[in-house]
Amino acid sequence: MATDVQLPALGESITEGTLAQWLKKPGEAVAADEPIASIETDKVSVEVPSPVAGTLSETLVNEGDTVAVGAVIARIGEGGAAAAATPAQSAANATTNPAGPSETPQLRGSEHAPEPAAGDQDNATRLSPAVRRAVLENQVDPTSIKGSGKDGRLTKEDVLAAAQSRSAPAPQAAPVPAPQAAVAPSAPGERKEERVKMTRLRLTIANRLKEAQNTAALLTTFNDVDMSAVIDARARYKDLFEKKHGIRLGFMGFFVKAAALAARDVPAVNARIDGDEIVYHDYLDVSVAVSAPKGLVVPVIRNADSMNFAEIEKSIAGYGKKAKDGTLTAEDMKGGTFTISNGGVFGSLLSTPIINPPQSAVLGMHRIEERPVVRDGQVVVRPMMYLALSYDHRLVDGREAVTFLVRIKEAIEDPTRLLIDL
């Protein structure tokens, strides 16, 4: 008797998701709680586990389809015998078969494209459409590439890196005319375009950022900070800190603590507008912007004002790992009263970050760069960082924004203030 696999609850206010990828195909054996599909929502990507052990007998939706919470997406049968593919799976398989009638140019390579060995068919069919296209366009063997994605799956970057590492350039794929293709075939040297549908996460990010620009009176103020004291403190205590707490001492812990201290003096930065009222928080839930494979996400460090350095660093490291693995949940990103974004890890010298609604402010960190500054009438070289505070001018006055940044600067340049609450 077959067991239905339903789309589980995905989080508060989330009623549907997009089936991003089937991780199993009909006929494959699955264990209880083993992921069989990846679902993308407005906030996170989640995996749907099999409720029982058995065989995936059929899939009821295609990749890219929108599915409501509670809908049946597949059925798990008993035993390990292979089952016939459903129309949805047949259509997907047809796009990977060079002789299939549903073939599209972006999934078709030249007649010399490498074919996976028989023992590697499962891995080949689990490639996402973007990865399959990259494999065929670059003429590489997917079975010879070590994947860096979740569970060892190949990513588009893995394929491109493998193609670049070859000594001889790959031959160009033979052009195949197809009017309905997403990527038009082109002759050597001819310019081409590619249309890729936005993911739900990227579309949500775009809408929220535009909403912030349309709603808030955005303004950014800047300051710079001498990082010498923090760098010296890290160099002096990093080994002892890691030995005691099992986590590295980073820069973010200092800035979270400094923000908590500054928010006590300037509570408007940690507040929000709700209709015609201002909501002040006596706690600091810091949204830390983290880069994930499918876009920027902002998990929340709750009650950061009452945490010590070790607790803050452990929370940040845990969220970073979950973002890389694609296991962040909607609950991880729920709420948040203030955001810190560190563009410096990517080399950014200066930026104007956009607030994360309904929050009223975001602190932007940037790269540390040695610059000449004047100290006691002498020009000296110091490791400097530009700070940017973008804020909603409807709620935060310019004086308050500048005061907040000055408090951050004072705490970073003299970390003792973080210990004695100054």
Token pair, residue 409, equals 């600067």
C-alpha 117/C-alpha 107 separation (Å) is 18
Specify whether the CB–CB gap between 140 and 149 falls below 8 A. no
For 109, 301, 382, the CA distances from 132, given in Å and listed in that order, are 10, 37, 49
DSSP string, 145-195: S---SGGG---HHHHHHHHHHSSSPPPPPPP---TT-SB----TT----B-
DSSP at 91: H
Query: Is 281 noted as a catalytic residue in this protein?
Result: no
Centre a 10 Å sphere on the Cβ of residue 25 and count the other Cβ atoms it contains. Answer: 20
C-alpha 339/C-alpha 270 separation (Å) is 9
- In the numeric block, the tokens 């940044």 are attached to 405
- Residue 107: helix, strand or coil by DSSP? helix
**120, 393, 414, 421: which one is catalytic?**
393
Specify whether the CB–CB gap between 289 and 345 falls below 8 A. no
Q: Which amino acid is at 162?
A: A
Query: Is 397 noted as a catalytic residue in this protein?
Result: yes
Token pair, residue 165, equals 């590492």
Specify whether the CB–CB gap between 295 and 42 falls below 8 A. no
**239, 265, 397, 414: which one is catalytic?**
397
Nearest alpha-carbon partner for 313 in 229, 249, 238: 249
Question: What are the percentages of helix, strand and coil residues in the chain, rounded to 5?
Answer: 35, 25, 40
Q: Which amino acid is at 50?
A: S
C-alpha 264/C-alpha 419 separation (Å) is 15
| Opening angle at CA 116, ends 114 and 117, nearest 5 | 125
Centre a 10 Å sphere on the Cβ of residue 244 and count the other Cβ atoms it contains. Answer: 10
List active site positions: 393, 397
